[in-house]
Amino acid sequence: MKASWTCAALGAVCFIITACATAPQDIVPRPSDDVSEYRGLSCPSLVADATQVQGRLDRLDAAQRRTRTIDTFGVALLFVPVASLFGGNHEGEIADLMWREHVLQRQIREGQCDFTRAAQSQ
């Protein structure tokens, strides 16, 4: 009987921990076919898009960290990942933006764009 309670408690703890929002550094880019829009863009356009994507990623990273913190406290106090339940989890959008950033950086390298010079010409 004691072993079954231990197993049940361990299972509940594992479930609750995995229900928390993923830490931003643990999110992997999600490949997408919707990146053809970056082919053929000029260096200044690529740099502008990369800057915009990076800014959005920075904001979502901060939001995801807050969500994870709230989830951690929610699980510790209420056994519920509070922030994730109410739409605070941005994992999907972060994964998409990370892929876009990867594609943009590759296009910038392939186009042999000088990132600093292109940014100054805007």
pLDDT of 24-36, one tens digit each?
888 899 887 776 7
pTM: 0.71
| 73 contacts: CB under 8 Å, gap ≥ 6 | 82
pLDDT of 121 higher than 60: no
CA distance 36 to 41: 10
The whole domain housing 97 covers: 2-120
Q: Are 26 and 95 in contact (CB under 8 A)?
A: no
pLDDT of 4 higher than 80: no
Tell me the pLDDT band of 118, cut-offs 50, 70 and 90.
Answer: very low
Amino acid at 119: A
> How high is the pLDDT of residue 16?
56
Give the total number of structural domains in the chain.
1
